[in-house]
Amino acid sequence: MNTKFMLDESRIPKQWYNIIPDMPGPLHPVVNPQTLKPVTPEDMSAIFPMSLIEQEMSTERWIDIPEDVREKYRLWRPAPLFRARRLEQALQTPAKIYYKYEGVSPAGSHKPNSAIPQAYYNKQAGIRRLATETGAGQWGSSLSLACSMFGLECTIYMVKVSCTQKPYRKSMMQLWGATVIPSPSEFTNAGRSILAHDPNNLGSLGIAISEAVEDAATHDDTNYALGSVLNHVCLHQTVIGLEAKEQMELAGDYPDVVIACCGGGSNFAGLAFPFLSDRANGKKVRCLAVEPASCPTLTKGVYAFDYGDTAKLAPITMMYTLGHDFMPPGIHAGGLRYHGESALISQLYHAGEIEAKSYKQNACFEGALLFARSEGIVPAPESSHAVRAAIDEAVLAKEEGKEKTILFGLSGHGQLDMMAYDAYLSGALEDFEYPEEMIRQSLERLPKVSF
């Protein structure tokens, strides 16, 4: 009676799955925020290497993973897939619950799956340094790790308030050799102009993005790296789902529903896209994206052209959005606090190909606690959204007396998020409603773009 499905390191995927050729219709253009015209590869080459720009737009279904990237993946990939037998017992459900666990990476989440190839391609292109932003610190620590492995320098603009609230993630980045700059900073025009008006500004992800992009755009030897949202990031994350498909086969099973938490979208894309591609072979798998009720991009946002960042420096894309100046409440799932959504996922959701659902954070932590006490692993607050949705699917199966196979993504562990669990256990965790009025106001400020 197996509970863990492992693959040999030779089974690390040799190619990423690119969903673009299988999308329901052509992609919408990405728009330059200055010119309001479609972005060209030349626009992007100031901050990205050409190989990643090509991946961003490629219509090849399969893209080779460089051997040097696979070699780094080997440190923790293939990641394990588990059957959650003790959770099933605790729920007394007829459903079978599987989870793909990405917390085994050195950074503790799925983020290195894209940080490693991004560092690799930039190194290949002769870049000396990468700049990025980080909020909760999952992406920043993953990029630091990747840069240390390829001998790149790494500059991380970390939201100032997070430097204080998440000091250990900051330490991890420094440990791996990165320079961490509290944002807003004096190092960029974007930072200085904010500090001039408000010297005590605590920062935001939008401001940090602006600083990192400016840093990259104004230094020839420096590029920018983004941890989610973009097509090439979703592409890199498909190693999750590709492995999971092989492992489900080992288990002699196939999911009726695939569940993953969804912020910018790369985690959901990574697990779900390879399963979505099976529909062409007649498989009837449902794919469910789970988001926080406090930042309900898919479930309460609109499908429109919007800026990727607050400062309107990032490209405008057609996506589900809550408005580029929407400020989500300070929930503990920092990785899910983004106003927008990956263009690919947005288009799939708009076409009715995937489902979405939102949860308040107490419900998620309740599920995470049950999971930790039965399965042992402490879920990251982000991942707890998928845990909760999987539990609800299993409970529904019980009520309906149906067999059902559930696969969810456990995208990271929560060992660095104990403060959040403390708050939950002491009853001090706020259950933010999605601020409907704030969303409405933000949506009034969408850019005027039409094609």
Give the Cα separation of 447 and 324 in Å (integer): 9
Is residue 351 close enough to count as binding its own copies by CB under 8 A?
no
Residue 27 CB neighbours (<10 A): 15
Question: Residue 375 CB, nearest distance to its own copies (Å)?
Answer: 7
Q: How far is C-alpha 179 from the chain's CA centre?
A: 23
**279: DSSP letter:** G
* Residue (of 262, 183, 190, 274) closest to 229 by Cα position: 262
Q: Extract the tokens encoding 335.
A: 């990785």
Say if residue 255 is preceded by a cis peptide, omega within 30 of 0. Answer: no
Is residue 8 close enough to count as binding its own copies by CB under 8 A?
yes
**Cβ distance to its own copies smaller for residue 188 or 361:** 361
Q: Is 117 exposed, middle or buried (0-12, 13-18, 19+ CB in 10 A)?
A: buried
Is residue 46 close enough to count as binding its own copies by CB under 8 A?
no
Is residue 66 close enough to count as binding its own copies by CB under 8 A?
no
* Interface with its own copies in residues 358-387 (CB under 8 A): 369, 372-378
Is residue 252 close enough to count as binding its own copies by CB under 8 A?
no
Question: Residue 381 CB, nearest distance to its own copies (Å)?
Answer: 12
What is the full DSSP assignment across 35-60? T-SB--HHHHTTTS-HHHHHHHH---
Is residue 221 close enough to count as binding its own copies by CB under 8 A?
no
**Cβ distance to its own copies smaller for residue 73 or 359:** 73
Is residue 120 close enough to count as binding its own copies by CB under 8 A?
no
**Cβ distance to its own copies smaller for residue 50 or 425:** 425
What is the full DSSP assignment across 333-394? -GGG--SS--HHHHHHHHTTSSEEEEE-HHHHHHHHHHHHHHH---B-TTHHHHHHHHHHHH
**Cβ distance to its own copies smaller for residue 3 or 45:** 3
Among 38, 66, 94, 177, binds its own copies (CB under 8 A): 177
**Cβ distance to its own copies smaller for residue 178 or 272:** 178
* Interior angle at CA 206, CA 145 and CA 410, nearest 5: 50
**Cβ distance to its own copies smaller for residue 202 or 369:** 369
Q: Is 447 exposed, middle or buried (0-12, 13-18, 19+ CB in 10 A)?
A: middle
Among 46, 196, 351, 419, binds its own copies (CB under 8 A): 419
Among 13, 49, 108, 296, binds its own copies (CB under 8 A): 108
Is residue 50 close enough to count as binding its own copies by CB under 8 A?
no
Residues in contact with its own copies by the rule CB under 8 A: 1-4, 6, 8-9, 71, 74-75, 82, 86, 104, 106, 108, 145, 148-149, 167-168, 171-172, 174-177, 369, 372-378, 415-416, 418-419, 421-422, 425
